[in-house]
Structure 1
């Protein structure tokens, strides 16, 4: 990549991060073009050319994504507050926009989200963000760490990736009832399958929370297990941690063969250190662990 192109990408990245940090604010072309240090007369065309959607649509989708996360995973928040933070002056305007995008009212989505239309609606947003997300890593990004064995409570997701959101909802509700807050009880994902298996029905992931307490399943199919200790190659990813596939591919395809190390008989897993929407998406942090012999 040329220095000029790298600088251009960095300026566009600044804009996306600014939008993420200021979703509650009035985001206009004058202000955003200033963040990018581009001419305001051309900025909207440059943005559309770079990301495949207009800056207005990008902001709208980013606000709706945060709102939908809060509806699905933060049942204590009022719909009116979520609507106002999404930039709508009244709940009914928010409800119309939400229904148009997802085919459900906000209250219906909160009770029983239909995740497939939700995933499809955010395809353009995910595609735009993937254009500038970190997909290239070096050996300097990987450290080898001795990690302790961690006892975990596990909620398994087996089957369609599109239904993972429903399993996450149940997991959050269970750990909240159990008093296992993310700040005091670490959150892990253990991948038992590829991100995109040949058959979607074969998709498999364990949602885990670290705890030494006795486990009360409280009606959920909670299992007790452990993440074994030992040497691990660790790769930290900052920003847009919904898709950790580029980092996982780097560990398996590039780092492992060149390192002379051998993988241990335990799947790749991650620890989620900070979460969207508690932090802006570009500030979410996850660490991938590749267990080594």
Structure 2
């Protein structure tokens, strides 16, 4: 492939990514073929086939799955009414939404909200996740790692212990606890502790700490909540944007490449991240997290 060919392909893929990201950013709006193809500056006559050839889904199917994933996330983690979620997912009635949701998730929306079948949900979202990973919008560069002096931060922690597949249920409990105590993401920072490597830790022993930064004096914490702190000190910080559900790749690169080349040494406190902007409050490709690697 010549340089000219490579530039032409990169330009083509950038236009297709722009179309896909437009869909993800405008799920509340009417998304017709003419509008989406115009975003990418392609002919509507061919865009259907171009989209399916690259992403493995028809345009209509991609839009359906993107709206479904956002609706399911809002059901599980949000407090909006099912009617509002249905309308914003493009359905005229809650009944139509319920039928479509059950076909994909195996549960009606109200049942999913109470006790989600996460395995069925992940299966139903597989094709969408593959389509999004085709032109990965998650990005970071190790050249952008900065070293910061971090102040100590008081945190409330709910620890998930067990297989990663069960993390969604713990997140539900954590969000419900935050909401009950007035500690929303808008008024309190969100952190995640990663004391264990999912690749080397037995599932029964795998832990993730779900944290909220707060100085609020709460006299009656849930028994599953512990008060702790993020210690003051130097940290290597890597900013990651895009789909941030899985940060293992970025974490691995920090340990495998940046750390040996930096000459730095780590402290005993585990790797953690601050989730700055996250789905579904923003489109997935606009999610932002910062990984913190504590240094001596």
TM-score bucket (shorter structure): over 0.9
Q: Is the 8 A contact 1:153 1:215 kept in 2?
A: no
Counterpart of 1:226 in structure 2 is 229
Alignment of 1:66-215 (within 5 A): 66-75=70-79, 77-134=80-137, 137-197=140-200, 199-215=202-218
Residue 19 (structure 1) aligned with residue 19 (structure 2): no
- Report the CA distance shift for 1:139/1:240 in structure 2 as closer, same or farther (over 3 A): closer
Superposed CA RMSD in Å reads 1.8
SS of match in other structure, 1:287: strand
Quick check: 37-46 or 149-158, which moved more?
37-46
Give, in whole Å, the separation in 2 of the partners of 1:68 and 1:135. Answer: 21
Partner deviation per Cα, 1:49-82 (whole Å, 9 max, x = no partner): 222222211111110111111111122x111111
Residue 60 (structure 1) aligned with residue 70 (structure 2): no
Residue 42 (structure 1) aligned with residue 9 (structure 2): no
Q: Give unpaired runs (5+ residues) of structure 2.
A: none
Output the TM-score relative to the length of structure 1. 0.93
Q: Is the 8 A contact 2:138 2:242 kept in 1?
A: no
Alignment of 1:204-283 (within 5 A): 204-283=207-286
Output the TM-score relative to the length of structure 2. 0.92
SS of match in other structure, 2:146: strand
Q: Give unpaired runs (5+ residues) of structure 1.
A: none
Deviation, 1:137, is 4.1
Give, in whole Å, the separation in 1 of the partners of 2:260 and 2:140. Answer: 15
Q: Is the 8 A contact 1:135 1:247 kept in 2?
A: no
Partner deviation per Cα, 1:223-271 (whole Å, 9 max, x = no partner): 1111112111111112221122222122112211221212222221100
Deviation, 1:104, is 0.4
Deviation, 1:198, is 5.9
Deviation, 1:19, is 0.7
Q: Is the 8 A contact 1:135 1:246 kept in 2?
A: no
SS of match in other structure, 1:155: strand
**Count of matched residue pairs:** 292
- Report the CA distance shift for 1:62/1:216 in structure 2 as closer, same or farther (over 3 A): farther
Deviation, 1:196, is 4.3
Quick check: 245-254 or 59-68, which moved more?
245-254
Give, in whole Å, the separation in 2 of the partners of 1:81 and 1:92. Answer: 12
Partner deviation per Cα, 1:114-133 (whole Å, 9 max, x = no partner): 11111121112112212222
Give, in whole Å, the separation in 1 of the partners of 2:91 and 2:214. Answer: 40
